[in-house]
Structure 1
Amino acid sequence: MRERAGLLQRLRSCFARTQTWQHAGRYISALVSQVPKRNGWTIAEQVGDATPDRTQRLLNRAVWDTTAAMSQVRRFAAAGLDEAARRRRRRGLVVGALDETGQPKQGKATCGVKRQYMGCAGRVANGINTVHLSYVREKTGHALIGARQWIPAEHITDPRASAGMGLPPEVEFRTKGQLAIDICADAFADGLVFDFACGDEVYGNCTQLREFFEQHGQAYVLRVAATFMIDLPSEAKLTCAQAVTLLVKDKRRWEVRSAGTGSKGQRWYAWAWIATASPRHHLLIRRHLRSGELAFHYCHVPEGQILTKTRLIRAAGLRWPVEEDFEFSKDHFGLDQCQARLYTAIQRHTVLVMAALAVCAVTAAHLADRTDTQAPPPSTPDQPPPPEPGMIPLTVPEVKRLLANALQHPKPPGHATHWLNWRRRHQARARWFHQRTRLNRDYTLFS
């Protein structure tokens, strides 16, 4: 509760009216609640409103600075995780992890919607994509701290589509790599410092993004494709796949190390690295111990910063928490459940979900040591289980459940019956208008 109150106080300056700020707080509480779906209707019912009007106004028309609110969430999450690390005396790496996530959508009216590859579906599907930045504190916690929705060029250049989707006039087409630049520039402006920036091939293959990081003295470990070209000290140019075939023939060049601790233990891989023509750039190769599958990371460490294979491997292993942030945001806070269609509404829902996640992530980080009673891990394969396994520390989903119980809003008498009747009346009205529209269409067809 203390962390929630602290974040809401930070957000107060972003809202023109106190009532709007208070409703945003109730919206965050509804995101943390146990309602199975989080859309305008369910959120309004959860916070005790008689209709969804106030919730829809909060997302679409209310006066508040969404960009400033995201900045406050970013500073809150980073400061909270940093403080938790200091209290626990954990001096781990700080990583900015970039990735995008999709939300399936129906129809063509939603801002940014297009048939495209959706990682959440594992195939080409109709939906929207948003680039995110996660603040990862090694051995402490992580939370989403930045987001920019990817908008197809045809939506921006078509005046009718642009107006219908609520796109601001200043919006320009940006690739996902360029959106990552914008997000990281905002993070740097807020004073955040990363030991490394990490991302998958979408970001590693973006020359502009790599140049941006190098201009700002930012070390990075970015995944690249097997066809990515590197310059060798011999002045030869090879793809990553060719470099491995020619330069890593000796098995002694491979070293088995852990990419970090997962829920099931250490994540072991074989690693090798190759020097490039630049002394501050290296190609880090990861090989799966069973399948032999290779993954390539193009790495840069500025002059004056520590450059060791160990640090690069640790950084490469800290990219995965952003995937966990996506999982938490969708499964527990409704990131992909919002039915908003306009640009501003989607952005505002995203910011409020990030706020809910940040509150729970910071709370979990502060409570980790006090709630971790696990038995020591096994040291041999035949070790018998302990008589009492203990409990893992409170996770973000468990903190969310505790907050949901503490944030129960009292409902006025007859609230459940009112909403039962409101939904039925609204659906009857919608059905009537749909029938009239179809009748007009059929009349035209048969006349």
Structure 2
Amino acid sequence: MLLELVRPCFARTQTWQHAGRYVSALVSEIPKRNGWTIAEQVGDRTPDRTQRLLNRAVWDASAVMGRVRRFAVDGLDTVADRRRRRGLRIAALDETGQQKAGTATAGVKRQYLGCASRIANGINTVHLSYVRERTGHALIGARQWIPDEQIADPTVTASMGLPADLEFRTKGQLAIDLCTDAYAVGVRFDVACGDEVYGNCTALREFFEQHDQAYVLRVASTFMLALNPQPRLTCAKAVTLLLADDRRWEIRSAGAGSKGQRWYAWAWIATVSPRHHLLVRRHLRSGELAFHYCYVPAGQILTKARLVRAAGLRWPVEEDFEFAKDSFGLDQCQARLHTAIARHTVLVMAALAICAVAAASSKTAPTPRLLHRTPRASDHPPSPA
């Protein structure tokens, strides 16, 4: 049981017990999950004990997150191994936001929030999700993004409860921190995936390559490719030059979504490096293109089908966000201090991990539909040579 595993992370038994009641309240049927409603659910007359748990009680949220990570990964792997499912192990990176009023909350700033689909006042947190293909998925890491100007102002740092030694980190650098933590305890991934925020981060791509980590990362149409003997080209220009022939495109499913299989046309392009490729996805109706810069280390499987599967397995992190918000109140915390926000986040992750492992153990995942056809030109990436 996860709650037993995290016991050493708490200085006092009473604090650990209240954390367990907090998680129980998160998974209950209460309509909102804030200080008052959680207090009422656990039998307290006021939210004082809940506020103490998040703000002042002595316990190590980082250590709890490590136990949550281990529990989720081991639990999903055990189910997959027991049922002989050799699905890919994906590290899915993404951030999610929460709208906030005012300027007192740690990390709050007018910025783009995916939850609002616009520039709004709020906070953003980078997450790492462990996705075990055909088995399940759960959030296993989180780091809140804090604006540089808040870290640089001692008065603001003190009022928001930011650590005195906190250094500014971009979202890409926070992703490096999350993956470093996972690698340090033996968690391994077949492929790492992320959207343009992470694909456009050179430091993150270099970090993955230094660790022999295959990746399929979204990049912008203006991302530059090295194509020999052609000069460097943008992704958009490379598609125009090399993929005009429809025979280079193949229709494949990116996996099942809420409305069934997600069918797209796919093609890939070789670069000067035998380990790097550009995977291109085209919407069947609108023709809209999405670009994925891919790296596969020597000795690992390199096929277009495998890259397409990996690209399609980034979406479960969005499902994790939706479930964590709608069912466990990830975005309903009214805390303002940095420590309290981090503690609420990790307790929500604990609730999500428990449910993810339980769901994986009780369900029979459907076999994904795959296209079967004879080999053709699209099986080999075009080169400008």
Which of structure 1's runs of 4+ aligned residues deviate more than 4 A? none
1:343 pairs with one of 304, 314, 338: 338
Aligned twin of 1:169: 164
Which protein is bigger by CA-based radius of gyration? 1
Equivalents in 1 of 2:297, 2:354: separation in Å?
Answer: 34
Equivalents in 2 of 1:121, 1:265: separation in Å?
Answer: 25
Paired AA for residue 99 in structure 1 = D
Residues 326-385 of structure 1, C-alpha deviation per residue, up to 9 Å, x if partnerless? 00000000000000000000000000000000000100000003xx8x9xx9xxxxxxxx
TM-superposed CA distance for 1:265, in Å, is 2.5
Aligned twin of 2:21: 26
Q: Map 1:4-403; keep pairs closer than 5 Å.
A: 6-234=1-229, 236-369=231-364
Equivalents in 2 of 1:118, 1:14: separation in Å?
Answer: 32
Equivalents in 2 of 1:301, 1:98: separation in Å?
Answer: 18
Paired AA for residue 92 in structure 2 = A
Equivalents in 2 of 1:335, 1:266: separation in Å?
Answer: 28
TM-superposed CA distance for 1:23, in Å, is 0.6
Paired AA for residue 142 in structure 1 = H
Equivalents in 1 of 2:64, 2:127: separation in Å?
Answer: 15
TM-superposed CA distance for 1:233, in Å, is 2.5
3-state SS of paired residue (1:352): helix
Residues 383-425 of structure 1, C-alpha deviation per residue, up to 9 Å, x if partnerless? xxxxxxxxxxxxxxxxxxxxxxxxxxxxxxxxxxxxxxxxxxx
Q: Does the 8 Å CA contact 1:27/1:47 hold for their aligned counterparts?
A: yes
Q: What is the TM-score when the length of structure 1 is the normalising length? A: 0.81
Equivalents in 1 of 2:110, 2:259: separation in Å?
Answer: 36
TM-superposed CA distance for 1:263, in Å, is 3.7
Aligned residues: 367
Residues 416-436 of structure 1, C-alpha deviation per residue, up to 9 Å, x if partnerless? xxxxxxxxxxxxxxxxxxxxx
3-state SS of paired residue (2:161): coil
Aligned residues: CA RMSD: 1.2
Equivalents in 1 of 2:293, 2:67: separation in Å?
Answer: 32
- The percent identity for this pair of structures is 78
Equivalents in 2 of 1:265, 1:343: separation in Å?
Answer: 40
Aligned twin of 1:400: none
TM-superposed CA distance for 1:51, in Å, is 1.9
Equivalents in 1 of 2:265, 2:190: separation in Å?
Answer: 23
Equivalents in 1 of 2:88, 2:258: separation in Å?
Answer: 19
TM-superposed CA distance for 1:235, in Å, is 5.2
Q: Does the 8 Å CA contact 1:81/1:140 hold for their aligned counterparts?
A: yes
More helix by share: 1
Equivalents in 1 of 2:153, 2:275: separation in Å?
Answer: 44
Residues 97-150 of structure 1, C-alpha deviation per residue, up to 9 Å, x if partnerless? 000000000000000000111110111111000000100011111000000000
